[in-house]
A and B are shown apart, each in its own frame.
Chain A
């Protein structure tokens, strides 16, 4: 048994399978950052820090004639979203019910996915995470309120990246509202906006990114953005009573930007989430 304490929960193998599948189904479409940045690991729950390869001078040494530097590391942050599942729902699932109410799990999955996206794209100062848009030296380009105009700033962002020697293909992370606008425009006929944007991005992906403010164009060439996973997203057990079992979604990770020039923010910018 590991620290997730899953075997202490009053949940059958079938019940765990249900919860794991539901969580994965909810998380996978929403984890936008993992579609656009390099992913390393998972290194395990015991992994505590990312090596930065840099040092800080130590002012004094224990004795004369020696000098010292101290290694700098980026500590991993533990992210956790609690949720509750009704024991009667789990028992009904064991009986064959196909419509288990897992709304609280769905909410927790949405929250932790948004938190991960916000940390990667906009940063999380308290957790020592400098986000992509927070460190980009490029001025944010206005996105406009109508999706029909999006190709122009996206093309401008791609051009800006090329001018800085950042090769493609490129990916586009669209916040919730911006993605909806693009999808709706595509539904109204004419030359599909999504296809147009794909071409501008050199066939790169357009990603639904809940938590992102506006949009972000990033290079997908690799080596510019690194998400290091300690423990990948997992479900753990907290406690239970006669009515419900109290569980949580949890992961540990760090995020570091190696090439701050490799991304351009579009539209309204905010360091926080939604």
Chain B
């Protein structure tokens, strides 16, 4: 088994970056599995076999969503952009451009991912927590 999820030498990466990379790899694998089941379901004539595959694909939906939520929680800018795109009616590309522009405007300090600030306790503002 290799360690292909790392693009840089693992020894030089902080623990948080390694965990992040593992979850990115997991997200990719879940998306691939969803696609594979979609293809199998499209060609499988046996109703019982299809029911099993639908159930299995549902598991992959769950895994993909959990992976995504973990990554979004660790990457506020990604989360902010995703919030502008996901579950929104209308033009997906337009939402994407708007969300990216808003995130860039607010993030004039640069990326707010802990991956870019290793060692930070990421406490930030507590004003909302107090109210």
Q: How many Å lie between the Cα of A76 and that of B6 in the bound state?
A: 36
Contact-residue size bin, chain B (C-beta under 8 Å from the other chain): 20 to 34
- Closest Cβ of chain A to B23, distance in Å, is 16
Residue among A34, A37, A233 making CB contact with B120, cutoff 8 Å: A233
Evaluate contact between B119 and A34: CB separation under 8 angstroms.
Answer: no
Set of chain B residues within 8 Å of A236, measured between Cβ atoms: 119
**Given A16-B15, A35-B130, A204-B131, are A42 and B121 neighbors across the interface (CB < 8 Å)?**
no
For A207, the chain B residues whose CB sits under 8 A away are 130
Q: Chain A residues near B130 (CB, 8 Å)?
A: 35-36, 171, 205, 207
Chain A contact patch, size range? 35 or more
Contact with B along A1-44 (1 / 0, CB 8 A): 11010110000010011001001100110010011111111111
Judge whether B129 is part of the interface by a CB distance below 8 angstroms.
yes
Tell me whether chain B's interface is mostly helix, strand or loop, or mixed. loop
The listed residue (A38, A43, A229, A234) touching B119 by CB distance below 8 A is A234
Chain B residues positioned under 8 Å from A37 (CB to CB): 127
Given A6-B14, A16-B15, A44-B110, A35 and B127 touching (CB < 8 A)? yes
B42 at the binding interface (Cβ < 8 Å): no
Give the complex CA separation of A262 and B45 in angstroms. Answer: 72
CA distance A234 to B122 in the complex (A): 8
At the interface, yes or no: B125 with Cβ under 8 Å from chain A?
yes
Q: How far is the CA of A140 from the CA of B109 in the complex (A)?
A: 37
A84 at the interface (CB under 8 A from B): no
Identify A2's interface contact among B118, B123, B124, B126, CB under 8 A.
B118
CA distance A2 to B17 in the complex (A): 14
Shortest Cβ gap from B20 to chain A (Å) = 13
Q: How far is the CA of A44 from the CA of B12 in the complex (A)?
A: 21
Residues in A lying within 8 Å of B, measured CB to CB: 1-2, 4, 6-7, 13, 16-17, 20, 23-24, 27-28, 31, 34-44, 47, 169, 171, 204-205, 207, 220, 229, 231-236
| Chain B positions near chain A (C-beta within 8 angstroms) | 12, 14-15, 109-110, 112, 117-127, 129-131
Give 13 new A-B contacts, CB below 8 A, not counting A36-B130, A171-B130, A234-B120: A4-B118, A6-B118, A31-B123, A34-B125, A34-B126, A42-B109, A42-B120, A44-B117, A205-B131, A220-B127, A232-B117, A232-B120, A232-B121
Could you jot down 24 A-B contacts, CB within 8 Å? A4-B119, A7-B14, A16-B15, A23-B121, A24-B123, A31-B126, A34-B123, A34-B126, A37-B127, A39-B127, A40-B109, A42-B109, A42-B117, A42-B120, A43-B109, A44-B109, A169-B131, A171-B130, A229-B124, A232-B120, A232-B123, A232-B124, A233-B123, A234-B119
